[in-house]
Amino acid sequence: MRVHVADHPLITHKLTVLRDKNTPSPQFRALVAELITLLSYEATRNVRTEPMTVDTPVAPYTGVAIAKPVPLVVPILRAGLGMLDGMMAVLPNAEVGFLGMARNEETLEPTTYAERLPQDLSGRQCFVLDPMLATGGSLGAALDFLFQRGASDVTAICILAAPEGLTKLEHDTVGKDVTLVLGALDQKLNEKGYIVPGLGDAGDRLYGSAG
Ligand code: PRP
Ligand code: URA
């Protein structure tokens, strides 16, 4: 697994405001969208392209187009939905699949309550969106779904990660083509499975308590 941790003052600044418990939901949502736009630049570095020729007003020019089959973007509901618009702004021709997952607050195990993905992902590049990589259970399960359906490679974009989740994913994805792009790698998980210092419950801060 390749891991890229962003190192850019704009990202660190936006993350600082995002972490602030006094940042209200409208600003939190706007910051998540801005962060994904910045992180997607790195995450799409290896997006597959094919030659494309156009005529400029002066001469023919051969550049590139996004190769087919087009990439699949998969937000993990709920919190990953907050990253979708920013990603689609960068990859407007991508298709979108959905995975709904919720972590049990006691066992910290994820359950999948919704799945709308193409059956056959042979040869597809996939981009998974989830702001939080905590124990790694949710993202690990999402990667399993995609590789079982034939995805060729998966890039996951997370705003924050804990070392514990990173270690689990590294172990679970041996031999698979996985790239992880992070806004920051935090210190640890606390006893409730929350990332420290983190930003709290990303889904609740985006959309309110699911209660
Ligand atoms: C959060 C987050 C991840 C998951 C991370 O979702 O968005 O999907 O927890 O935790 P893990 O790495 O320990 O699996 P949550 O289950 O709270 O659902 P929500 O997005 O609907 O709030
Ligand atoms: N999910 C969240 O939303 N936040 C955490 O810190 C851990 C899991």
Cβ(189) to ligand 1 under 6 A? Answer: no
Choose among 208, 198, 211, 183: nearest CA to 43: 183
Nearest CA to ligand 1 atom 3: 132
Cβ(184) to ligand 2 under 6 A? Answer: no
Choose among 183, 182, 188: nearest CA to 17: 183
Cβ(82) to ligand 1 under 6 A? Answer: no
- Sorted by where each begins, the domain ranges of the chain are 2-49+61-207
Choose among 72, 68, 66: nearest CA to 52: 66
Atom of ligand 2 nearest to the CA of 79: 3
Identify the CATH assignment for 2-49+61-207 out of 3.40.50.150, 3.30.1370.110, 3.40.50.2020, 3.30.70.260: 3.40.50.2020
**pLDDT by position in tens, the chain (length 211):** 999 999 999 999 999 999 999 999 999 999 999 999 999 999 999 999 999 999 999 999 999 999 999 999 999 999 999 999 999 999 999 999 999 999 999 999 999 999 999 999 999 999 999 999 999 999 999 999 999 999 989 999 999 999 999 999 999 999 999 999 999 999 999 999 999 999 999 999 999 997 6
Q: What is the pTM (predicted TM-score) of this model?
A: 0.96
Residue with tokens 């907050």: 82
Phi then psi for 90, rounded to 5 degrees? -85, -35
